[in-house]
Copies of this chain bind each other. A is one copy, B any other.
């Protein structure tokens, strides 16, 4: 695992791939075929201009109501509602929604942009698409065939603490089947499908974790992984199969 640090604050329109390649060059390294490049949702959102100034945001009646109930900023709640298909749970200082792309997470993935003021980042419009675009651009600029992951940090039911998860992937299968034992009735005893992309996201988050803006990208080198069929959106469990939603 190789951290890419020293990346300047990202502005809308910045060429993220060029900036990351530049930082790597400065560190005497470069992307190689087979590498997995993991980048935070936040720098992707910034470069794509998925930013909203809370001061521009007029809360609806529903947002003001939910804001009172949760103790959250009504303008933020307004944005959360706009970004979501539905509110799944709410409580003091907590709103869990189904984001319009399907992610189940707190605040529809909205986060502060780490710039002074009241700007927040929304999730990228289509992270799988962005990952594919970055992968193609890396191939064009360097010749290297890499995998690209866009990651966010989500809380979980049952377990305390957030962990890194994948919200966009390209060049790597987000899900893999593990050769699994079957029980005597020929059913699989344990879930044998592994969320490879989420494990990669969590691994990279170990390095990103401490320095929020400091380490916005990490390379995993030397891991064997299938290119496969599954993109990050396939990680979303269909509601019909989800016994806890």
Chain A residues at the B interface, C-beta cutoff of 8 Å: 1, 54, 71-73, 76, 89, 91, 93-94, 96, 104, 106-107, 110-112, 114, 118, 120, 153, 155-165, 174-176, 178-179, 181, 183-185, 187-196, 198-200, 202-203, 205-207, 209-210, 212, 223-224, 234-237, 242-245
Known: A104-B158, A157-B242, A223-B206. A71 touches B163 (CB 8 A): no
Write out the residue numbers on chain B whose beta carbons fall within 8 Å of the beta carbon of A189. 76, 107, 110-112, 120
Quick one: which of B94, B179, B181 contacts A243, CB cutoff 8 A? B94
Q: How many copies does the complex hold?
A: 2
Cα separation A41 to B195 with both chains bound (whole Å):
19
Write out the residue numbers on chain B whose beta carbons fall within 8 Å of the beta carbon of A244. 89, 157-158, 244-245
Quick one: which of B161, B212, B242, B245 contacts A235, CB cutoff 8 A? B161
Write out the residue numbers on chain B whose beta carbons fall within 8 Å of the beta carbon of A161. 174-176, 191, 193-196, 198, 235
Known: A199-B209, A200-B206. A162 touches B187 (CB 8 A): no
**Do A73 and B198 touch across chains, with their CB atoms under 8 A apart?**
no
Quick one: which of B73, B107, B236 contacts A158, CB cutoff 8 A? B236
Tell me the smallest distance from the CB of A209 to a CB of chain B, in Å. 6
26 contacts between A and B (CB under 8 A): A1-B1, A54-B184, A72-B187, A89-B244, A93-B187, A104-B158, A107-B189, A111-B181, A112-B181, A120-B189, A153-B191, A156-B156, A157-B242, A159-B195, A160-B195, A161-B174, A161-B196, A162-B194, A164-B199, A178-B210, A199-B205, A203-B206, A206-B223, A207-B223, A244-B244, A244-B245
Known: A111-B190, A165-B159. A71 touches B185 (CB 8 A): yes
Write out the residue numbers on chain B whose beta carbons fall within 8 Å of the beta carbon of A112. 181, 183, 189
**Do B206 and A159 touch across chains, with their CB atoms under 8 A apart?**
no
Known: A94-B243, A194-B161. A203 touches B199 (CB 8 A): yes
Q: A153-B191, A157-B243, A162-B193 are in contact. List 11 more A-B contacts (CB 8 A).
A: A71-B187, A72-B183, A76-B183, A156-B156, A156-B195, A157-B157, A159-B237, A160-B175, A163-B199, A200-B206, A244-B244
Most chain B C-beta atoms within 10 Å of own C-beta, residue among A89, A153, A161, A224:
A161
Tell me the smallest distance from the CB of A245 to a CB of chain B, in Å. 7
Write out the residue numbers on chain B whose beta carbons fall within 8 Å of the beta carbon of A245. 157-158, 244
